[in-house]
Structure 1
Amino acid sequence: MEKIIQLQRKIAPEFTAVIESRYNILRCIQYAEPVGRRALAMMLNTGERVVRAQVEFLKDAGLVDVSQLGMTVTVEGKVVLAELADYIRLLRGLVGLEEEMTQALHLKRVIILPGDSEADSAVQRELGRVTAGVVGQCLGDNMTIAVSGGSTMASVAEAVNFSAPSTTVVPARGGLGEKVEYQANTIAAVMAGKLGGRYRLLHIPDGVSEEALEVILADDANVRVVAEIIRQADILVHGIGQAAEMAKQRGLSANIVDELVRRGAVGEALGQYYTIEGNIVYVTSSIGLHLDDLAGIRTVIAVAGGGKKAQAIMAVASTGSHDVLITDEAAARAIQQIINNNDRGNF
């Protein structure tokens, strides 16, 4: 397949460009359906006339339906879209890049999706869909999934489309400092609802003192039970944030934010702040999972995209405690450039 793609690039580069264009249109329609041509053109940042011509082709091919409500992808279109995904990854050289990053970051598996989730919301939703699929592959009977908060994790929960009624979903850490829809508690409840399973919540503010946490654990039996369930999770799925940005979102003081920057923190996950080498320089107080707990978890999955998160992703992946990284092309290319610039292929 790779040889065929190389030949296509040399002999008919316009052919591959058309395929990519129609793939992007199908993907955007699928995630926004029913959608009108004008809205679709705005999503794709292209002219309405160009979109109209491509949609007409897709309609004639039986891949798109057009109605008064807008455009939708047909059953056949969804099948073609799924098959095209692997072709696009080969076309852009992402399969080879996955192997390179797997070795460089010492992971068991890296999955790279085409595009940039910062610029295209459809890519973020695709990150969610693929991550949900990986979780489904790892699930067995009577398992517990721990999830973190964040917008990407919200996309993961929404993308779950299978049933696992014996599953329990819990937040990976306590924390109520984010928007409600992005809180780990909310994401755990949504995912459990999609699975038809159970959930347990942890109503603990982020950043409370160690003394206060000890009092809460001593006085609240429910919190103790949930904390123990979290530590015994079979699967952990979490996002990754930029250190300074996440510190501000969590309400840390300006002095602490400055100290994080001074100490070289670039990435954050589960309330822990890392240098690009994977060293922890700060931990917010909360009940839930910490780096030391990850060794006992069967499968640890990290998901994050966007070129600006490249250093953050490297920082968290460099801890050596992760199994799977799911990211986008923009982040992967930026990580590749960092590794090459620093001549650190064994990073």
Structure 2
Amino acid sequence: MERFIQLQRKLAPELIQTIEARYNLLRHIQHAQPIGRRALAAMLDVGERGVRAQVDWLKNAGLVEFSQLGISVTAEGQALLPDLAEYVRLLHDLVGLEDELAERLNLKKVVIIPGDSEADIAVRRELGRAAAGVLGEYLGDNMIVAVSGGSTMAKVAAAIHFTLPTTTVVPARGGLGEIVEYQANTIAAVMANKLGGRYRLLHIPDGVNEETLEAILAGDANLKAVADMIKEADILVHGIGEAAEMAGRRGVAASTIAEIEQAGAVGEALGQYCALPGKVVYVTSSIGLRLDDLAGIGTVIAVAGGKAKAKAILAVAGTGGQDVLITDEAAAKAIQLLINTNNF
């Protein structure tokens, strides 16, 4: 395949551009189906006439179909998408970049999705789909899965299309007080329902001081049981955020945020704020997992994309304990540049 792509680059580069454009169109239709041409053109930020010509070609090829509700991907188109995705990954040399980052970041596996999730909602959904696939690879009978909150984790839960009824899903930490769909409790429940398994919830927010947490655990046996179960998780799936943004979402005081930034924090995961190349500089009190607990977790899967998160991903990965990183092309290339420029 790689040799074939090299020949295409030399003899028919315009064909590569066409294939990429049609793949991009097909995956946007897949994520938004059924969708009209006008809405599709707006989503892609291109002219409706150009979309019409490409969609008509896809229809004639049997890859999409039209209905009164809009355009949908056919079964043939669905079957073709994984092969197209692999073609584009090879085209962008993402396989080589995956291997390089896995070695440089000391990870077992890196999965890179083509594109930039900051600019393209389809890439964000592909991150969720890829993470759900990796979870399926590692998930076995009678396992406990811990999951953090956030919009990316919500997409991971939504993308699960397999069942394993012996699974128990728990939130990795307390809630942030954000919209309910993105809270760890909600995502744990959605993920468990998709898997056909069970879930346990953690009804306590992040940021409660240590003395209060100890008193709550001492007086609530059920809450303590859930907290103990979280520590025994076989798999953790979590997101990575930018330090200042996450501190704001956690309700950290402005003066403390300034201290966190002054300490060099650029990334946040599981309530801990990290500076480059991988040092924890501030910790939010909460019941649940912290980065220094990850050595006891069987498999840790981090999911984050977007060029702006490159420093955050690099800082969190540098603390150790991560096994798998699922990210996008924009973030991966920015991480590669940071590593090469700063000799991390």
Which residue pairs with 2:172 in the alignment?
172
CA deviation string 1:225-265 (max 9, x = no partner): 00010000000000000000100011000011000110000
CA deviation string 1:151-171 (max 9, x = no partner): 000000000000110000000
In structure 1, how many angstroms separate the alpha carbons of the residues matched to 2:133 and 2:308?
Answer: 25
Which residue pairs with 1:306 in the alignment?
306
Name the TM-score, length of structure 1 as normaliser. 0.98
Which residue pairs with 1:128 in the alignment?
128
Unaligned runs of 5+ in 2: none
Which residue pairs with 2:280 in the alignment?
280
Which residue pairs with 1:216 in the alignment?
216
Mapping for residues 38-53 of structure 1, pairs under 5 Å: 38-53=38-53
Q: Is the 8 A contact 2:102 2:108 kept in 1?
A: yes
In structure 1, how many angstroms separate the alpha carbons of the residues matched to 2:329 and 2:179?
Answer: 27
Which residue pairs with 1:152 in the alignment?
152
Q: Is the 8 A contact 1:309 1:331 kept in 2?
A: yes
Report the alpha carbon displacement of residue 104 of structure 1 after superposing the two structures with TM: 1.1
Which residue pairs with 2:322 in the alignment?
322
Which residue pairs with 2:189 in the alignment?
189
Unaligned runs of 5+ in 1: none
Which residue pairs with 2:17 in the alignment?
17
In structure 2, how many angstroms separate the alpha carbons of the residues matched to 1:94 and 1:339?
Answer: 17
In structure 2, how many angstroms separate the alpha carbons of the residues matched to 1:162 and 1:139?
Answer: 11
In structure 2, how many angstroms separate the alpha carbons of the residues matched to 1:42 and 1:118?
Answer: 16
In structure 1, how many angstroms separate the alpha carbons of the residues matched to 2:68 and 2:188?
Answer: 37
In structure 1, how many angstroms separate the alpha carbons of the residues matched to 2:149 and 2:110?
Answer: 21
Report the alpha carbon displacement of residue 6 of structure 1 after superposing the two structures with TM: 1.4
Aligned length: 344
Mapping for residues 1-347 of structure 1, pairs under 5 Å: 1-342=1-342, 344=343, 347=344
In structure 1, how many angstroms separate the alpha carbons of the residues matched to 2:10 and 2:306?
Answer: 30
The share of aligned pairs that are identical, in percent, is 69
Q: Is the 8 A contact 2:169 2:198 kept in 1?
A: yes
In structure 1, how many angstroms separate the alpha carbons of the residues matched to 2:338 and 2:25?
Answer: 31
Name the TM-score, length of structure 2 as normaliser. 0.99
In structure 2, how many angstroms separate the alpha carbons of the residues matched to 1:41 and 1:87?
Answer: 24
Q: Is the 8 A contact 2:113 2:328 kept in 1?
A: yes
In structure 2, how many angstroms separate the alpha carbons of the residues matched to 1:333 and 1:49?
Answer: 33
* Paired residue secondary structure (1:326): strand
- Computed over aligned residues only, the root mean square deviation of the Cα atoms, in angstroms, reads 0.7
Q: Which amino acid counterpart does residue 78 of structure 1 have in structure 2? A: Q
Q: Which amino acid counterpart does residue 241 of structure 2 have in structure 1? A: G
In structure 2, how many angstroms separate the alpha carbons of the residues matched to 1:176 and 1:324?
Answer: 25
* Paired residue secondary structure (2:98): helix
* Paired residue secondary structure (2:112): strand
Q: Is the 8 A contact 1:266 1:273 kept in 2?
A: yes
